[in-house]
Chains A and B, each alone.
Chain A
Amino acid sequence: MDSPHHRYLSGLQQRELRYQRCSACARTQFYPRTLCRHCGSAELDWLTSSGDGVVYSVTWLYAKDTPPSNIALIDVAEGFRMMSTVTGVPTDVPLIGRAVRAAIADDAVVRFELVAP
């Protein structure tokens, strides 16, 4: 059996945000595991997310000598939540509830961009 984490990382290398859906209960989960966290089944399918999401919460981190950066929780359209960051926004723009879309960069990290309303 492949490591779930390795399989996730290999998806990022191909610029795909992968997640799991349970064949038994049809619910989705993130992060990937060897069993379903909802029902306990070990029958899991791997799917690729559309990357569409909504900001659930956000905090701006302030540190010496670096500009503020944000850490966000994103509710992804396929029914799972993940930690990420929203790029290209100033600190005074309200983000909670805003539509965002995933962009996977060369460093294989998932970041989100605001979708124009």
Chain B
Amino acid sequence: MTDSLRGTTAVVGVAESQLGLVAPGLTPLDLMGQASHAALAEAGLTTRDVDGLFTASSVYPAAGLDTAEYLGIQPRYIDGTVVGGSSFVSHVLHAAAALRAGLCEVALVTYASTQRSNAGKLVARTQLNAYEAPYGPRFPVSMYALAAARHMHEFGTTREQLADVAVAAREWARLNPKAFSRDPLTREDVINARMVSSPLTVRDCCLVTDGGGAVVLTPAERARDLPRPPVYLLGAGEATDHATISQMPDLTTTSAVQSGRRAYDMAGLSASDIDVVQLYDAFTINPILFLEDLGFCAKGEGGAFVADGQIAPGGVLPVNTNGGGLSYCHPGMYGILLIIEAVRQLRGECGDRQVPDAQTALTHGNGGVLSSQVTAIFGTEATV
């Protein structure tokens, strides 16, 4: 039933805004303006062509309205779904459905944050559930630490294996001129860094940066007439099973099991068909959980799977080839940047970090405290 969306839409333009630490006074809307202009230009389009807008924000409660006004567009379709950092992967699925249904013809997905220049802190939901607040967990790191601790207890996952996730991200970042952190990083550096919420040190945590991006989608038939090689959406799925960590059924298994199955079913693919993987790495435990839940290895074997450079450049599976949220850029909500890197890999534009002959890419967004899981699979013309 859901296979009707497979290959019917394509990404035709992607761009980041300025990243890292931007000039004082620049707002998230300014950065969304930069990214939207550049992504549309890549597609041979302008804001005049956009009639579908998909956006979410930590600072604009009615982000669709603020963004449309700033860009000077009057979209006939707005989706402001907010499910945390995975929102933009969700937006891609929703955009494909809206494009397929004829509710819009050019869909713009965009997001930006100036959290580093504003505050130097993660701008995120800080209002805790009343049943968790009395204990003072540090949101969100303590929640991910609880998942990591349980994974270590159940499966023997080690502190070194967690560190190797950060080291692999850094090695990819060293190949990406746009990455924020490009200094060498060792396993010992990660383990001996300042402990934040055990077992996670500050080097197990994603960056706090400014930045944003934009992704433009059109129906496949139109995409073939635009300048860049279309990158087709082959499948996508979303899932959620809790909002607060004490309500998560099993801290070692996320609903990426469900979102992944939905995406694979739509795409007609399995993990073994995927050439390059972009996983939301808010913390080092995340890629371990998602590689298991998305079928790249068995449950409990994620630690061994990521160890010793196996997801680093030259490893067995290229994961987070831009350097990820851990070393490239993490502007509060990272999901939009997963998609941009996947598209560039499938176009063969990634220079030193290019995965040879990448035909399929899986992006996986995570939102809240392992709460929202959204998977999207993209492919080149040859895969449609």
Q: Which of A16-50 contact B (CB under 8 A)?
A: 30-31
The closest CB in chain B to the CB of A107 belongs to: B134
Bound together, the chains give a CA A18 to CA B383 distance in angstroms of 56
Bound together, the chains give a CA A61 to CA B147 distance in angstroms of 14
Q: Which of A47-82 contact B (CB under 8 A)?
A: 56-63, 69, 71, 73, 81-82
**Count of interface residues, chain A, beta-carbon cutoff 8 Å:** 23
Partner of B149, one of A57, A62, A63: A57
Whether A71 contacts B146 in the complex (CB less than 8 A), given A31-B129, A81-B246, A83-B135, comes out as: yes
Bound together, the chains give a CA A31 to CA B93 distance in angstroms of 32
Whether A61 contacts B137 in the complex (CB less than 8 A), given A71-B142, A82-B131, comes out as: yes
> Does B125 interact with chain A (Cβ within 8 Å)?
no
Whether A82 contacts B246 in the complex (CB less than 8 A), given A57-B251, A59-B142, A59-B149, comes out as: yes
Determine if B145 and A109 form an interchain contact, defined as CB atoms under 8 angstroms apart.
Answer: no
Q: How far is the CB of A83 from chain B (nearest CB, A)?
A: 4
Determine if A57 and B153 form an interchain contact, defined as CB atoms under 8 angstroms apart.
Answer: yes
Bound together, the chains give a CA A73 to CA B142 distance in angstroms of 11
Residues of B within 8 A of A (CB): 129-132, 134-138, 142, 145-147, 149-150, 153, 194-200, 245-247, 251
Give 8 nearest A-B pairs by CB, closest first.
A59-B145, A57-B150, A60-B198, A83-B246, A57-B146, A31-B131, A96-B153, A83-B132
Would you list 28 pairs from A and B whose C-beta atoms are within 8 A, ordered by A residue? A5-B130, A30-B131, A31-B130, A31-B131, A56-B251, A57-B146, A57-B147, A57-B153, A58-B146, A59-B145, A60-B195, A61-B137, A61-B198, A62-B194, A62-B196, A62-B198, A63-B138, A69-B136, A73-B146, A73-B251, A81-B246, A83-B132, A83-B135, A83-B245, A83-B246, A84-B135, A96-B150, A96-B153
